[in-house]
Amino acid sequence: MSSKPIRITVWNEGIHEQRDAAIAKLYPAGIHGAIAAGLRGYGFEVRTATLGEPEHGLSADTLAATDVLTWWGHQAHGQVSDMVVERVQRRVLDGMGLIVLHSAHHSKIFKRLMGTSCDLKWREADDKERLWVVEPGHPIAEGLGEYVELERDEMYGERFDIPQPDALVFISWFSGGEVFRSGCCFTRGRGKIFYFRPGHETYPTYHNPQVIRVIANAARWAAPVQGLTPYFGNAKALE
């Protein structure tokens, strides 16, 4: 196993923090800054990228040097370049891990990889959220108790229009009565994908140590493993 640290790129639109003083106060370094700071505490090599940078901060060189990409978006899904989305998709299919956070369920990259609308129910009403660990032996649940509780966050409810996950790690219950598949694992090509629900911009979710722990666990799980690169096309007989 390689002793080199896992290389993570934390991507964020970076728009809410510029337009809303309350969100800027909550996340003075941006949502990406809060996530990155938490992940550095786990020994990862972390860089950040935002929508407003050239190529959204996701050049071919940056992605080539990324083992796991985290993605947070909300207001500007449509502003993400299709060229960049295709570039990210190719890297995922080639083995880069992808962690999709909260409202990035509607991001171009997640919808493209899922092949569905990724629609859901939602409500902003200070609901309590309890994320039940339903697969306690999964690496993403390492170090957690039976559940993670958030006093306030946006509600997401079923039906969540996604393909059947390869594994379901968390199911959320909300104080309004809804439930939601909030920790979903997928494989596309050689790449692993994890969707993690919490993280509305008006709440301090990414300052919660348990939330950061889940993202850190997911990064370790999603990081590519060394192995033979498959080849395709015409092949000579072995015998």
CA distance 94 to 229: 9
Q: How many CB atoms lie within 10 A of CB 134?
A: 17
CA distance 156 to 182: 9
Q: How many CB atoms lie within 10 A of CB 236?
A: 4
Residue 140 DSSP symbol? G
Residue 30, phi then psi, degrees to nearest 5: 85, 160
Q: How many CB atoms lie within 10 A of CB 147?
A: 16
In DSSP notation, 51-114 reads TTSGGGG--HHHHHT-SEEEEE-SS-GGGS-HHHHHHHHHHHHTT-EEEEEGGGGGSHHHHHHH
CA distance 114 to 17: 29
pLDDT for residue 1: 45
pLDDT for residue 2: 56
From residue 46, alpha-carbon distances to 62, 109, 232 in Å are 12, 21, 33
CA distance 55 to 63: 11
pLDDT in tens, 99-141: 999 999 999 999 999 999 999 999 999 999 999 999 999 999 9
Contact 89, 82 (CB under 8 A): no
Q: Which residues contact 4 (CB under 8 A, 6 or more apart)?
A: none
CA distance 238 to 58: 41
Positions in the chain whose pLDDT score sits under 70: 1-2
Token pair belonging to 61: 């060189």
State whether the Cα torsion 5-222-111-134 is positive or negative: negative
Contact 198, 150 (CB under 8 A): yes
pTM of the model: 0.95
Q: H or E element: which one contains 23?
A: helix 21-26
pLDDT for residue 3: 74
